[in-house]
Amino acid sequence: GENVEQHPSTLSVQEGDSAVIKCTYSDSASNYFPWYKQELGKRPQLIIDIRSNVGEKKDQRIAVTLNKTAKHFSLHITETQPEDSAVYFCAASRPGAGSYQLTFGKGTKLSVIP
């Protein structure tokens, strides 16, 4: 089955700096890679996703890059703000696998220091 590794497990940055979280996946058939943000006690919220036919996607301060050959994808947050502090999860899915199940990374706790 799919295995998703996520690094780092914790990340502290100064407000205004950039943050980068990296994930690798094992199943070359995976073609969908979402990123979720989860605040303490709240639901995971989809913040950006990318499909395997695209190498990069950007939405304001958030971008995701995908390297299919190396089987890794990364989340980039620029101009970080205190409200970006949360746990971020990456995930991977392949078509038809268990009704499109997502395999999650272990999460990265991002702290943005004012």
Interface with another protein (CB under 8 A): 32, 34, 36, 41-46, 49, 89, 93, 95, 98-102, 104-107
Query: Considering beta carbons, is residue 49 or 78 the nearer one to another protein?
Result: 49
Q: What DSSP character marks residue 93?
A: B
* Burial 20-33, CB ≥16 within 10 A → b, else e: bbbbbbebeebbeb
Query: Considering beta carbons, is residue 96 or 114 the nearer one to another protein?
Result: 96
Query: Considering beta carbons, is residue 74 or 93 the nearer one to another protein?
Result: 93
